[in-house]
Amino acid sequence: MSLFRKLFYRKPPDGLLEVSERVYVFDCCFNTDAWQEEDYKGYIGGIVSQLKEHFPDASFLVFNFREGEKQTQIADALSKNDMTLMEYPWQYEGSPLLTMEMIHHFLRSGESWLSLGQQNILLMHCERGGWPVLAFMLAGLLIYRKQYSGEQKTLDMIHRQAPRELLQLLSPFNHVPSQLRYLQYVTRRNAASEWPPLDRALTLDCVILRSLPNFDGEGGCCPLFRVYGQDPFLVSDQTSKLLYSTPKKGNILRAYKQIECELVKIDINCHIQGDVVLECISLNDDMELEEMMFRAVFNTAFIRSNILMLNRDEIDMLWDAKDRFPKNFRAEILFSEMDAAASIVAENLSGFEEKEGLPVEAFANVKEIFSSVEWSDPNSDFALNVLQQISASNIAQENSSADLQHRVEISTQKQETIPRKELAGQSTVTNATVSTASSEQALTVSAGIELMEPKGGSISPSTPAQPPPLGLAVTSSVIKVHPHPPPTLHLSASEPSDPSTVKETETI
């Protein structure tokens, strides 16, 4: 088969790098210089003309990784060509990664497109500076399709297609360790009955540092932790936010020396769910100047035995900071199952100031409950939960204050932390073409897909139950993929073939 491909191999058009069969990358992704608008349009136009000449019967899908929400150059350049453009963010909380929902959607979309027919071609593009996330996502696609095995080997192969110094020019941090962790999540798909698994709500109890790094010049550090991610209690708001930061006031922060202690245990007690970014920062003597020690990105669904152990090769750090960490350095992140009911009770009761009956804060809580209800879902039992909470509150108001805590516990025990996958919206597959008038919104989508447009104007699929069949006749379109609001796609396509029948691609 390899000999057959070599005999009939056709050189790709100028400006494209062939990474795998029918998968190409725009070589502008390897450039750190800004393009003038007219030069860029000429560059894209030339490549499109060559593609149509080389592959007259082909259909094209372009994946673009963008910065921000403004109209991208590639969208403008492809607006008059018969190509579908699907855009993704290029970072998650400062790391060149995407959430597992977004990664899952990308992998299923790419696999579906390539599996629909030999005439379908996939093009990869990123805005200036987006090469790290493009390389990561492309490595994930090759592993997902079982064309390559081995996370490190696959990612290194992709990185070799660009100048060696490009990663260091684009970021002062080496994010490869967290990228490899997420590629391992993709590899686990082959052994799991359900992938990705449902999100788990956990409590990040503490972090234990063994063999302290040297960040104060005297063989020690003053560690401060910050945690970013989705708040598991705010079901209606899935955006990432700062969940925890070590207070600078009080006696929590202190400097530690290697000669004084072999390990340091820092309590955090932060509720987390889904994709989490953990930052460890060292403060100077006056507790003002911050210096990043390391970062780690992980997903709670893949935590095993409620512990994540990381050595110095498994944390993200500055490119030149490795020598500051002893060879036997280790960060142990300990978790526990989150008791949702107890946590809500503790949070609600802590701020109560009782004044004849229920406190004023209770009315704000009721307002928040109503604002987060998904009334449009006929199968949801949230309305029942709301009525039960209101009923419990009325009973508490009529009874003595000594009975208040007991009533609140009865009410809150019926609430559960809902995995974000259960919030998936519904859509229908038709033979109609959906379009909008604005070029900044999702423009025109054919291929027998009906996309429901959420408020705000952009199409926002995440974690579809099945992959989108983006094939057949496709007109010029732009699909902006956001992690929020909740997903609006429910599509279908076939799974990749059995791993025993697939061999590594030898196009490179």
Supply the residues annotated as catalytic: 126
* DSSP symbol at 466: S
Rounded distance between C-alpha atoms, residue 395 and residue 364, angstroms: 18
Cα–Cα distance between 4 and 147 in angstroms, integer?
A: 17
CB 474: neighbour CB atoms within 10 A? Answer: 20
463-466-472 Cα angle (round to 5): 115
Q: What share of the chain is helix, strand, coil (3-state, %, to 5)?
A: 30, 25, 45
CA dist 169 and 163 (Å) reads 10
Rounded to whole angstroms, how far apart are CA atoms 393 and 429?
A: 44
Structure tokens belonging to residue 66: 């963008």
**Residue 135 DSSP label:** H
Alpha helices by DSSP H, listed for 116-208, are 131-144, 151-159, 166-170, 176-187
Cis peptide before 132 (omega within 30 of 0): no
The Cα angle at residue 39 between residues 36 and 45, in degrees rounded to 5? 135
Start-to-end CA span in the chain (Å): 15
